[in-house]
Chain A
Amino acid sequence: MKSLKSFRLGGIHPPENKFSAHAPISSIPLPKQLIVPLGQNLGVAPKPIVKKGDEVKVGQLIAKADAFISANIHSPASGKVLKIDDATDSSGYRRPAIFINVEGDEWDESIDRSETINREIVLDRQQIIERIKDRGIVGLGGATFPTHIKLMIPEGKKADYLLINGVECEPYLTSDHRLMIEKGEQVLIGTKILMKALEVKRAVIGIEANKPDAISHLRELSADYTDIYIQALQVKYPQGGEKQLIKAVVNREVPSGKLPIEVGCVVSNVGTAFAVYEAVQKNKPLIERIVTLTGKAVRKPSNFLVRIGTPITDLLEEAQGMPEFTGKIINGGPMMGKALSTTDIPIVKGSSGIVLLPQEESRRPEEKPCIRCSKCIQACPMGLEPYLLAKLAKLALFERAESGKIMDCIECGSCQYTCPANIPLLDYLRLGKQKVGHLIRTRKN
């Protein structure tokens, strides 16, 4: 038997724990109040264009992007703007947000809310990019990079492949899995739209082999879309990393410090492809997303279709409450996500899942000295030396960390997962990346 495609260097096999894989996507009742943070995308936060007391409809523009790397925000509910004030975000910091008191559910007239699938792509390339920009679509894999910028290929470069990332290699999370099963056709049309915008001939949807139902479903559907290929991939974390996916699917290596377009690839998440379909064919802005709420002790692990700005507390209620002895609430997957300090924070465009860890799993084991076993080096999918870089970051030797290519770290956490001495390698690497990034920026200016 031929082994499945995968990236070569490193990688780990954490327990999958995909409890919510068979929970259909369900929507939750609208909360009384939505908190829509302004800084939801990578880059510059958009500026609010509504005032206190304004009436808004679902899908109405409420914050406009005026910088290059920025994305519009639309109202996820109809009602009245209560205030524009600071709200606690996932890290506990208070950042500006628009508070909306929900009244009814009145949608903007321009949005097509019918269930019919529009297969024909009528817009041309420029119009598609313009529409995606206008509808505030960002990458839903977690990085929230504005999608329209990804589609504007720089002068002199050419894209050969569009890769759609349906890998979902993070343990626990299943939102992309459910999306591919339930909205497979829309994802394929979204892929076609992205292909048209990028002017590429071939697209590959990469899916890890632990989702056979999604693979066979999309393969059936893709009979009508001959230029989209469904690629099953080996189950290995971090298969869904952008650079790892490119290596696995088209066997090209993105050079250090460069973007995927350097090797003729553009990578988008399946969630993004679906959002693009809705924006272009239905004129619907990015006002809701699928969020997995799961955990070993959660009574009802679920995949929710949630309006942006819904407090996590509401999701917990819908999943029959927070289980007793919950030690950590993680925003994102257990490998790359960050622990929350409160549940009163809203779902944003980049929230892919909420994972509740029981107390005994959430405590960090005691840190012991490094024994130079080099397991972290073997696990690093980027070919770095995590033990050394972490040490350099700890000792504030940032120039040496920079020459050790610390900026290539994708923060996947494989090193920390595999470390037998329980050293928080990723934490130190993140610290080092922040400092080195700061150094590089000051050098540029």
Chain B
Amino acid sequence: MNDILLFSLLTLGLLGAIMAIVLYLVAQKFKVIEDPTIDLVEDILPKANCGGCGFPGCRNFAEILVKQANEQQNIDGFNCPVGGNAVMKEVASILGLEVQEQAPMIAVVRCNGSKANSPSKVIYDGPASCAFAHNLFSGEGGCQYGCLGLGDCVDACDFDAIHMNPLTGLPEVNDKCTACNACVKACPRGIIELRRKGPKDRRIFVSCINEEKGGPAKKNCSVACIGCSKCFQVCPFDAITMKNNLAYIDFIACKLCRKCVEVCPTDAILEINFPLRKPKPAVEDKKTSTEKTATVATIKQDTSSESTV
């Protein structure tokens, strides 16, 4: 009895010892030498694995950052949108570098074709997928550029930051948005754009991407951009460009003066988080202040006459 016990203990013990030696040798032979800073950097990153930085996952981003720091001594142009400036600063301090501060961004839905503004002409009862509906038809409201309201962006969001508003049928972005770009990629119509969050979260943007001429655009949606270029003319900072019957506000050049919002005849330009409108001393323009104000005045007259008709 004792013999059997002894024998099995010995054989198993010996076997275990041999295996351990083999494993040790193999581990030494095939050891992966990794920069420990990668682990440090990865620890700081938010581990959301959202891909907002443009790389598949936080680990890969950490590897790329360390590689960049070693080779180029510069990690400009790399940004973790979720962590923002705080995280990037910490990462830079680990790597012994400096980073430029990046203005915080947020996803913006550039369509205001709600059920009231763009009434449904047909009923869609197919699968709830924007990608599918986009290939099938122009949309319930008839606008081929507008939001389909089936929520591909909501499905794509990892941060609970975008939700459908059942009243308007449009997605709404909340403060949880980290500008990871997932919804931008998910939207088959390219309606969502990342824009600068702005001081005090104030933003002005053209909430329409309809490139049709005024008539057909207005036919389907009362708040469509009709390409009248009134905002383009009134903008004192040349922040607005007109292309394909559509105005676009450059968020870097825009100084949030709100003049464009006033002149827009279809209310296609939205202002977010501004206090209620009260007459504000106009921003002093050096060159053509008189001329510009004159045009504003005439255009205002125009719009008032239009609205009465």
Which residues from A are CB-within-8-Å of B216? 86, 94
Given the complex of chains A and B, what is the CA–CA distance between A341 and B122 in angstroms?
6
- Taking CB as reference atom, which chain B residue is nearest A423? B127
Which residues from A are CB-within-8-Å of B132? 427-428, 430-431
Q: Are A427 and B126 in contact, CB atoms less than 8 angstroms apart? A: yes
Residues of B229-288 contacting chain A, CB below 8 A: none
Which residues from B are CB-within-8-Å of A394? 127, 129
Q: Are A86 and B125 in contact, CB atoms less than 8 angstroms apart? A: no
Given the complex of chains A and B, what is the CA–CA distance between A342 and B142 in angstroms?
9
Q: Are A341 and B212 in contact, CB atoms less than 8 angstroms apart? A: no
Q: Are B129 and A92 in contact, CB atoms less than 8 angstroms apart? A: no
Interface centre among A338, A427, A435 (most CB of B within 10 A): A427
Which residues from B are CB-within-8-Å of A431? 127, 129, 131-132, 135
Q: Name the contact of A427 in the complex, choosing from B121, B127, B137 (C-beta under 8 A).
A: B127
Q: Does A443 contact B (CB under 8 A)?
A: no
Q: Does B60 contact A (CB under 8 A)?
A: no
Which residues from A are CB-within-8-Å of B138? 88, 91-94, 341
Given the complex of chains A and B, what is the CA–CA distance between A92 and B212 in angstroms?
14
Q: When A427-B132, A431-B132 are in contact, do A93 and B127 touch as well, CB less than 8 Å?
A: no
Q: Are A92 and B144 in contact, CB atoms less than 8 angstroms apart? A: yes
Q: Are B127 and A94 in contact, CB atoms less than 8 angstroms apart? A: no
Q: Are A342 and B121 in contact, CB atoms less than 8 angstroms apart? A: yes
- Taking CB as reference atom, which chain A residue is nearest B126? A427
Q: Name the contact of A91 in the complex, choosing from B121, B126, B136, B212 (C-beta under 8 A).
A: B136
CB distance from B202 to the nearest CB of A (A): 35
Q: When A86-B216, A93-B144 are in contact, do A434 and B135 touch as well, CB less than 8 Å?
A: yes
Given the complex of chains A and B, what is the CA–CA distance between A91 and B126 in angstroms?
14
Main secondary structure of the interface of A (DSSP, over half): mixed
Determine the interface band of chain A, counting residues with CB < 8 A from chain B: 20 to 34
Q: Name the contact of B125 in the complex, choosing from A92, A364, A430, A434 (C-beta under 8 A).
A: A364
Q: Does A363 contact B (CB under 8 A)?
A: yes
Q: Does A358 contact B (CB under 8 A)?
A: no
Given the complex of chains A and B, what is the CA–CA distance between A338 and B212 in angstroms?
25
Given the complex of chains A and B, what is the CA–CA distance between A427 and B135 in angstroms?
11
Q: Does B81 contact A (CB under 8 A)?
A: no
CB distance from B220 to the nearest CB of A (A): 10
- Taking CB as reference atom, which chain B residue is nearest A433? B135
CB distance from B124 to the nearest CB of A (A): 9
Which residues from B are CB-within-8-Å of A428? 127, 132
CB distance from B274 to the nearest CB of A (A): 34
- Taking CB as reference atom, which chain B residue is nearest A425? B127
Given the complex of chains A and B, what is the CA–CA distance between A88 and B125 in angstroms?
21
Q: Does B139 contact A (CB under 8 A)?
A: yes
Q: Does A424 contact B (CB under 8 A)?
A: yes
Q: Are A92 and B142 in contact, CB atoms less than 8 angstroms apart? A: yes
Q: Are A86 and B212 in contact, CB atoms less than 8 angstroms apart? A: yes
Which residues from A are CB-within-8-Å of B122? 339, 341-342
Q: Name the contact of A341 in the complex, choosing from B126, B131, B137 (C-beta under 8 A).
A: B137
CB distance from B129 to the nearest CB of A (A): 6
Given the complex of chains A and B, what is the CA–CA distance between A434 and B130 in angstroms?
13
Which residues from B are CB-within-8-Å of A91? 136-138
Given the complex of chains A and B, what is the CA–CA distance between A428 and B216 in angstroms?
31
Which residues from A are CB-within-8-Å of B135? 430-431, 434
Chain A positions 169 through 210: 1 when the CB is less than 8 Å from some CB of chain B, otherwise 0? 000000000000000000000000000000000000000000
Which residues from B are CB-within-8-Å of A93? 137-138, 144
Chain A positions 361 through 386: 1 when the CB is less than 8 Å from some CB of chain B, otherwise 0? 00110000000000000000000000
CB distance from A387 to the nearest CB of B (A): 14
Given the complex of chains A and B, what is the CA–CA distance between A338 and B122 in angstroms?
13
Which residues from B are CB-within-8-Å of A341? 121-122, 137-138, 142
Q: Are A363 and B144 in contact, CB atoms less than 8 angstroms apart? A: no
A contacts, CB < 8 Å to B:
86, 88, 91-94, 338-339, 341-342, 363-364, 394, 424, 427-428, 430-431, 434-435
**Cβ-closest 3 pairs across A and B:** A92-B138, A431-B132, A341-B122
